[in-house]
Structure 1
Amino acid sequence: MTETRARAVRFDQYGGLDVLHVADVPMPEPGEGEVVVAVRAAGINPGEAAIRAGQMHAMYPATFPSGQGSELAGVVTEAGEGVTEFAVGDEVLGFSFTRSSHATHTAVPTSQLVAKPPQLPWQVAGALYMPCCTAYAAVRAVAPRPGETVAVSAAAGGVGSVVVQLLAAQGVKVLGIASARSTDWLAAHGATTVPYGDGLRERLADAAPEGVDAFIDLFGPQYLDLAIDLGVPPERIETIISFARAQELGTKADGSGTASTKEVLAEMTARVAAGEIEIPIAATYRLDEVAEAFAELEQRHTHGKIVLIP
């Protein structure tokens, strides 16, 4: 029997974890150039928490009731008019610009999907878009050259884990700002851990006696100030989160939007499938456990990605 209802994460007002709930909703219908995907896995991200809390209202206002989620992997269940690239039963991964991936089903333009390589586990495929495309944009923004030293804040997080690997692959000396418990993983992926906290500036200076050439901030505005204090040129400082401070200081603020293309997604998917890039999975939760998933994420100590399994 054809399913007529779907389930999706919703919030009806800005607020904390308590505003999140899972609602029964009409089954999405594909528009022209779209397919409906039965979601098998969908990553969660700090930006979604900030949107839900109303912290990004000026830039990304929500319309209530609001859905949530930008990355997904799943199986095509219906194809809209004009779709020739994918067919019912195809396994795909990609991204949604309509805050709709935290659901059992969502409609997505085929221009935002690529075929899921069979060797990729669902949880990796569903968590691939945001860290990979954001990391791609962040690394491209600072234009690293072999032999240079680049510092990365939140280096063991979802995006940071990929940034570190992209930098190391380009022959860069990577200083990963993270907790000491991430030392082994970072070392195995080409980075030197510099523990965050009091005295960080001195530790970075000691680790890079010839100076830091570029800085990628994945955590907060204090790291932009630190980069300036270390003498890094503003044009070689990048943030994916501290937009207001970046504007004040004249640094870069390229996020996933500058690399959210099918071409970049396909390139990064191929690299993950080939084992060149690892996406650590910190935890998985059921769709009904979405509040618990974000509670863990919002502690800001996660190594890798947290994924919802509808």
Structure 2
Amino acid sequence: MRAVQFSEYGPAGVVHVTEAEEPHAGPGTVRIAVRASGLSAGEAHIRSGGLRDVVPVTFPYRTGFDAAGVVDEVGDGVTGVGAGDEVFGMTAAAARGANADHAVLVAWAPKPAAWSWEEAGGAAGSVETATRVLDRLAVGAGHTVLVQGAAGGVGTIAVQFAVARGAAVIGTAREHNHDFLRSLGAEPTTYGPGLVERVRALAPGGVDAVFDCAGGALPDLIAVAGDPARVVTIAPDLTAATLGVHMSHGAQVDDAAAGIGAADPPAVHGLGIAVELAGQGRLRVPVAAAFPLTEAAAAHELSESRHARGKIVLVN
């Protein structure tokens, strides 16, 4: 089968498609014939070498964490799903390999009928991340949340999940994305100098939690929240720990390395919530671009531009 991988650190061009041995479903897992899969911004950071001191990599490194497709193998002990079912879900964090013709999922849910394959293929990772961070921040009805980087793959889902919980959401993005954020239920504002003052003007009663999807502004985000414990970042910002901010991630890391910490438990229950919200017409998965699997390197280039609105996906 075809699979996307890289065999050295470097720019997007080191990413390539190769022939690989097919994986098979083991106990508690299912295998899918992949129709679409998500590009992980975190893996782009790993590929660049920027995290080489904290995230151990064995080359070749197979990419992809979330995918959607048709079940073609069911492992021992699995119930409620069978061959031919359409699902979306996630691979094991240590295994990855979703950017391929076949992938083994350790968590999955039925593909919502309202979603295209592209939307479903890019959904699971963002859904799990958004759920994990919002749970840690205990976001609920009546709260005000700032989502920094609200127009990206995770940010767009975080906005909608927070709104579904009954929270008021302020989202940062470039001005050309402001109407888009309003359509998701967020009050938009811009990045950069003056952020603290702009947010205070929009939320004079204060902000209860900050979900940082973008990185690079933690001191301002702490000032907005009033307490670093009310800020969680998913950006690979190695200053987070020194500032008292939790960095939430699912990577297999060197626990002795400073600044990143151990992985958080995955919030796979978010997949079921996503199915429910999608069925109610309250959750969409904005797709920034869809590339053929063979153009994975171009997809990585777009990810690194930081100009993608929504999720970047690869289609089979």
TM-score, normalising length from structure 1? 0.89
Which piece of structure 1 moves more, 204-213 or 149-158? 204-213
Contact 1:214 1:237 (C-alpha < 8 Å) held by counterparts: yes
Shift of 1:289: 0.7
- Which of 47, 66, 83 aligns to 2:61? It is 66
Displacement, 1:83?
Answer: 4.2
Of 21, 27, 40, 2:22 maps to 27
Alignment partner for residue 108 of structure 1, among 102, 105, 108? Answer: 105
What are the superposed Cα offsets for residues 186-237 of structure 1, whole Å, 9 maximum, x if unpaired?
11222111111333233223323333332111111x3221122335212211
Q: Aligned in 2, Cα 1:176/1:57: closer, same or farther, shift over 3 Å?
A: same
Q: Check the 8 A contact 1:128/1:269 in 2, yes or no.
A: no
Tell me the secondary structure at the aligned position of residue 229 of structure 2: helix
Which of 197, 200, 206 is 1:202 aligned to?
Answer: 197
What one-letter code is carried by the residue in structure 1 that aligns with 2:233? T
Q: Which runs of 5+ in 2 are unaligned?
A: 251-262
2:295 is the counterpart of 1:301 = no
For the Cα contact (< 8 Å) 2:287–2:313, is it kept in 1? yes
1:137 and 2:132 are equivalent in the alignment: yes
SS of equivalent residue, structure 1 residue 26: coil
Q: Which amino acid aligns with 1:274?
A: Q
Aligned-residue offset at 1:242: 4.1
Distance of 2:169 and 2:273 partners within structure 1: 22
Aligned to 1:238: 232
Question: Match for 1:252: what amino acid?
Answer: H
Q: Which amino acid aligns with 1:19?
A: V
Match of 2:11 among 16, 19, 43: 16
Distance 1:241 1:265, change over 3 A: same
Contiguous gaps of at least 5 residues in structure 1: 1-5
Find out whether 1:249 has 2:234 as its counterpart.
no
**Counterpart pick for 1:263 among 244, 269, 279:** 269
Q: CA RMSD in A?
A: 2.1
The answer on whether the counterparts of 1:114 and 1:262 sit within 8 Å (CA) in structure 2 is no
User: Which of 220, 225, 228 is the equivalent residue of 1:226?
Assistant: 220
Distance 1:260 1:303 in 2: 25
Decide whether aligned partners of structure 1 residues 64 and 194 sit closer, same or farther in structure 2, where only a CA change above 3 A counts. Answer: same
For residues 259-299 of structure 1, the C-alpha deviation after alignment (integer angstroms, 9 at most, x for no partner) is 63543322222222332212111111100110111111111
Distance 1:160 1:167 in 2: 10
Partner amino acid, structure 2, of 1:126 = G
Inter-partner Cα distance in structure 1 for 2:137 and 2:30: 36
Residues 219/27 of structure 1: CA separation in 2 closer, same or farther (3 Å cut): same
Q: 1:119 aligns with which of 114, 117, 124?
A: 114
Please name the residue that 1:3 is paired with.
none
1:155 aligns with 2:161: no
1:212 to 198, 207, 212: 207
Query: What does residue 46 of structure 1 align with?
Result: 41
Which range moves more in the overlay, 253-262 or 184-193?
253-262
- Give the counterpart letter for 1:104 in structure 2: D
Q: Is the 8 A contact 2:32 2:71 kept in 1?
A: yes
1:9–1:23 Cα contact (<8 Å) kept: yes
Residue 231 to residue 218, structure 1, CA distance change in 2 (3 Å):
closer
> Which residue in 1 is equivalent to 2:164?
169
Note the C-alpha offset of 1:170: 3.2
**Per-residue deviation, 1:85:** 3.8
Counterpart residue number, 2:88? 93
* Inter-CA distance 273–145: structure 2 relative to 1 (3 Å threshold): closer
Change (3 A) 1:116 1:289: same
Quickly say closer, same or farther: Cα 1:291–1:261, change in 2 above 3 A: same
For 2:104, the aligned partner's letter is A
Matched to 2:105, the amino acid is V
Rounded Cα–Cα distance in structure 1 between residues aligned with 2:31 and 2:97: 11
Query: Cα distance, 1:161 vs. partner?
Result: 0.8
| TM-score, normalization by structure 2 | 0.88
Distance in 2 (alpha carbons) for counterparts of 1:171 and 1:270: 16
- Where 1:193 maps in the other structure, the secondary structure is strand
Tell me the distance in 2 between the aligned counterparts of 1:231 and 1:107: 40
Return the offset for 1:65: 1.1
Percent identical pairs in the alignment equals 38
Quote how far apart the aligned CAs of 1:144 are.
Answer: 3.0
Is the contact made by 2:212 and 2:232 (CA closer than 8 Å) also made in structure 1?
A: yes
Q: CA deviation at 1:140?
A: 1.8
Question: Aligned letter for 2:242?
Answer: E
